[in-house]
Amino acid sequence: NEYLLWLSLVALCFAYNAVVIPLRSSFVVQKSSNLSYWILFDYVCDLLYLMDIVLVKTRLQTVQNGIRITDVGILRKYYLKRWVFLTDLFSLLPLDLLYLYPPLRFKPILRLPRLFKIYDIVSMANRTRVEFKHAMDSAVQACKQFGVPDELQDKVRQWFTYAWKEQRALSESDALCKLPINLQVDMAISVNYETLRKVELFRDCEKGLLRDLMLKLKSVIYLPGDYICRKNEISLEMYIVNKGTLLVLAGGERNELLSVLGAGSVFGEIGLLAMRDAFLPRKTIDFTPSEGPSDLPRIADDGSFFLPE
């Protein structure tokens, strides 16, 4: 709420410049008698712009690899590396110093770069983002109506944020299901080929088999605290750790940490390859994401993966 109030104040300064600059350039409203008042309002807006860059923009939290960044030093470096910083800097070019040159003393058009601050107000205001924000707000509102605990509501927001950050969509399959099968295959190869090549089991497989596997590879996002699989569950799925890290726990009362799986790790492949009428191996350990969300492409045995003998 505080940031929205500040953004409203910055928007008010932009509106002042958007109206006053053309007005003062087109009509004789700026004279020697009232020049000091115009300069006062101009520099108040410039001061707010400067405060926005130095005190606000360098502290705006962001999400990287699903982890919320709150360290001011990291946030400052992140902001300074973005092209938005250059836009903000350009909007504060001190062209007003040219007022000291008599022929340009009454040229408000020199403040035109201030209008580049419009980026802050309409940034990312596209249809996809609006629809995504509406979906997240609807989900959170439903959680509140049903009395869902705040901790679970935070996980809902975290999932939406990570899904937007990584995929720019809520579901990859929904976006691609309308494409013809040949384009789906080409898209799957482009996106999932390197992921599947990380698996030792499929490294020497023929490309035809890999193409079929790619169509069955579905990305699933797990949040910290979610259990991907628990002890004694029947293994019918294979997971590939594409992004994030997983904690391997012993389960039971002690539930000690056995290992940490990073990007490129695979688990569940033995259960996937087991015969459907044979003994299916059971997982004897638990898997759960660590501090940040994890993106796990998954291949499930839905009955169509292997041909019957």
Residue 306 domain flag = no
| Mean pLDDT value across residues 305-309 | 39
**At residue 221, what are phi and psi to the nearest 5 degrees?**
-105, 125
User: In this structure, is residue 305 part of a structural domain?
Assistant: no
In a domain, 80, yes or no: yes
Q: Is residue 202 part of a domain?
A: yes
State which residues form the domain around 56.
Answer: 2-122
Q: Based on the domain organization, do 161 and 176 belong to the same domain? A: no
Q: What is the pTM of this model?
A: 0.50
In this predicted structure, the answer to whether residue 57 has a pLDDT above a threshold of 70 is yes
Residues 133 and 92 in one domain: no
At 270 the pLDDT is: 65
> What is the count of structural domains for the chain?
3
Report yes or no on 181 lying in a domain: yes
Take residue 215 and report the two structure tokens written for it: 């169509």
Question: What's the angle, vertex CA 191, arms to CA 245 and CA 197, rounded to 5?
Answer: 65
Residues 177 and 210 in one domain: yes
**Are 106 and 100 spatial neighbours (Cβ–Cβ below 8 Å)?**
no
- pLDDT tens for each residue of 188-217: 677 677 777 767 777 777 777 777 777 777
Q: Are residues 247 and 152 in the same domain?
A: no
Please say if the pLDDT value at position 149 is more than 50: yes
Instruction: Outline where the chain has alpha helix (H).
Output: 2-26, 35-51, 72-81, 83-90, 119-122, 127-145, 150-167, 172-176, 181-197, 207-215, 269-273
pLDDT in tens, 230-258: 777 766 777 888 777 888 877 666 667 77
Domain contains 48: yes
Q: Token digits for 1?
A: 């709420």
Do 285 and 244 touch, CB atoms closer than 8 A?
no
For residue 256, give the 3-state DSSP assignment: coil
Q: What does DSSP say about strands 237-240 and 257-261: parallel, antiparallel, or unpaired?
A: unpaired
Q: List, for residues 90-116, the tens digit of each pLDDT value.
A: 777 776 665 555 554 455 555 656 666
Q: Is 150 inside any structural domain? A: yes
Would you say residue 191 lies in a domain?
yes
Task: Tell me the DSSP string of 280-292.
Answer: PPB--SEEEE-SS
